Structure 1
Amino acid sequence: MRPFLPIVLFLAFSNLGNSQSEEIGVFGGGSYYLGELNHGQQFYKAHFTPGLLYRYNLQDKRWVLRVHFSYTKLEASDADSEIQSNVDRNLNFQTTIIEAGPIMELNFIEYEIGGRTKFGNKNKNNGTAYIFGGINFFHMNPKGTLDGVEIELQPLGTEGQGSSQNSNKRYNLNQISIPFGLGIKFNLGNRLALSIEYGLRKTFTDYIDDVSGTYVDPEMLALENGTLSAQMANKSIDGAISVGQQRGNSSNKDWYVIAGAILSYRLKKATTCRKW
């Protein structure tokens, strides 16, 4: 994540000297995770998500370039599942997520904070719906709990990564996601606007929760990756697992959702566009 942050900040602030159609803003909302430990429960274990953003409104007032930074937490536990096999599996995780990246917004109609636009014969548009999509760089660090103690899971190789039982390397904690979603934005005055949006993050990793493949031989795992690795790999209630038994579903990658509100401030007073 660190190599990307200076680039993102440079893109965000390099054009501040020409602020005729630029905004800065703060985000506040919530996040939740979708994956092996939560198959579809909306807003499950949601956590507060703060963020900062910069918008550059293009001349047509429909397209908007946005660069953002946000911080949140994701977590889930098999103990909350309605599926008995998941309850028996008895895994849990939590991770912080630090994300940043560029996003393009498409306003449904011409819009800018405090601006006057023309749409057919209608006058000033004080708001619009919009859709968005882009690319995120994010950092994760999944942890599990054992006897009330949080333990970092990636170094342990709980599915045999880095051992003779799994040829794959330990997964990377820096990842890419595709954010997309929809929202509405409307003026609060000549310089302020409020946006409300719902956004999904499609990731390309199945290890936000450290659960993806199958169980490996616990004795060999303890020998090669350590006793703690074997303990965190198999926390099932009855302790009985077989080598090759499904632990997760590697064909479905993990997702997460961030939804909330944006309060944005226009850096220079809007001008009235010409009438057609």
Structure 2
Amino acid sequence: MTLHKIKQALLICVTLQIGSACFTTPAEAQSFVTSEIGVGLGGANYKGELAPNYRFLNNQPAITLFYRRDLSRTFTARGGVMLSHRIADDNTIGDGVQDLPLPNYRQAELRLSLAEVSAVMEYNFFDYYDLSQKVRITPYFFAGIAGLIYNKKLTSDNPTLDELNKPFDTDLTISVPFGVGVKYALTKNWNLGLEFGTRMLFNDNLDFLTEADGKHVANPYDKDWYFYNGISISYTIWTIKCPPPYKRQPGILD
């Protein structure tokens, strides 16, 4: 009877250990993974022949939707979609404040809508998912690859450049997004984010500028760029990684 009671006690202890591992809180668990879903609002900005310098006032409304998953204490993977309804250039992008001779000569207006699908890796400088910290905040750096579909239309008021006046055209291209940001945990599940990123294109066709009457109206040695800067809110889903089910080994409790 004594041996039988010992076996029962051992079985109860093992069961309690497995149960505590599966139902403990994230702060007490030995390991867990997190996922985030979020939305961001900000501005998209074009940089190219029509706007050779980044100007904050050139931002047009943009929205982002993203999913983020931690891979380790340092790295997180993120997939997202960014949409910008229109970036319009009516020479305010190269306005009188800058007094740029080339945009003034072309007198071009650009209307641009774009949709970006991206996959990036984030490097977090601090352990953002450590719930023992009273304040959870970390700056981060990100880089990756993105596919871009964009619809554009260019018109020019310069009568000598009539060939620039073209209907709407849709193109696909690849870009390399990279930038910096900061994450701040408002609560256990809700997070606030700030981000500034740039996208390097492999072509010079975002602004639809080509030759007109044999004249070079675009710089063939300078690629187009676009930017996104904005604020985001996300929700964290905590998933506890339980140990594998207890497997009875002959000889232990026999």
Structures share fold, TM-score greater than 0.5? yes
Aligned to 1:63: 75
Please provide the CA RMSD for this pair: 2.4
Matched, 1:22 2:23: no
Answer yes or no: is 1:189 the counterpart of 2:187: yes
Question: Deviation per CA, 1:84-137, whole angstroms, max 9, x where unpaired?
Answer: 34212111211101001211000011112xx326xxxxx555100000011110
Aligned partner of 1:51: which letter? Answer: T
Shift in Å, 1:83: 1.6
Residues 52-103 of structure 1: per-residue CA shift (max 9 Å, x gap): 1000111x32100000011013232346441234212111211101001211
Please report how far the alpha carbon of residue 151 of structure 1 lies from its aligned counterpart in structure 2 after TM superposition: 5.6
Q: Distance in 1 between matches of 2:69 and 2:33?
A: 9
The alignment status of 1:97 with 2:67, answered yes or no, reads no
Deviation at 1:257, TM superposition (A): 0.6
Which residue in 2 is equivalent to 1:203?
201
Name structure 2 gaps, 5 residues minimum: 1-31, 158-164, 242-254
Structure 1 stretches of at least 4 aligned residues deviating more than 4 Å after TM superposition: none
Q: Deviations over 1:136-195 (max 9, x none)?
A: 101011113479xx96344xxxxxxxxxxxxxxxxx701111000001111100101111
Residue identity opposite 1:204 in structure 2: F
CA contact (8 A) 1:181 1:197 kept: yes
Tell me which protein shows more strand as a share of its residues: 2
Q: Which protein has the larger Cα radius of gyration, Structure 1 or Structure 2?
A: 2
* Shift in Å, 1:199: 0.3
Q: Secondary structure at the match of 1:267?
A: strand
- TM-score normalised by structure 1 residue count: 0.66
Query: How far apart, CA to CA, are the structure 1 residues paired with 2:167 and 2:206?
Result: 12
Q: Distance in 2 between matches of 1:92 and 1:42?
A: 17
CA distance in 1, matches of 2:222, 2:66: 30
Question: How far apart are 1:270 and its partner, in Å?
Answer: 7.9
Q: Could you tell me the TM-score, scaled by structure 2's length?
A: 0.71
Partner residue of 1:128?
138
Residue 44 of structure 1 deviates from its aligned partner by: 4.0
Q: Secondary structure at the match of 1:248?
A: coil
Q: In structure 2, what is the Cα distance between the partners aligned to 1:74 and 1:268?
A: 38
Q: 1:180 maps to which residue?
A: 178
Q: CA 1:192–1:132 in 2, change beyond 3 Å: closer, same or farther?
A: same
Question: Residue type of the partner of 1:138?
Answer: L
Task: Give the partner amino acid of 2:118.
Answer: G
What residue identity is the alignment partner of 1:37?
A: L
Q: What's the counterpart of residue 248 of structure 1?
A: 218
Q: 1 CA distance for matches of 2:54 and 2:175?
A: 21
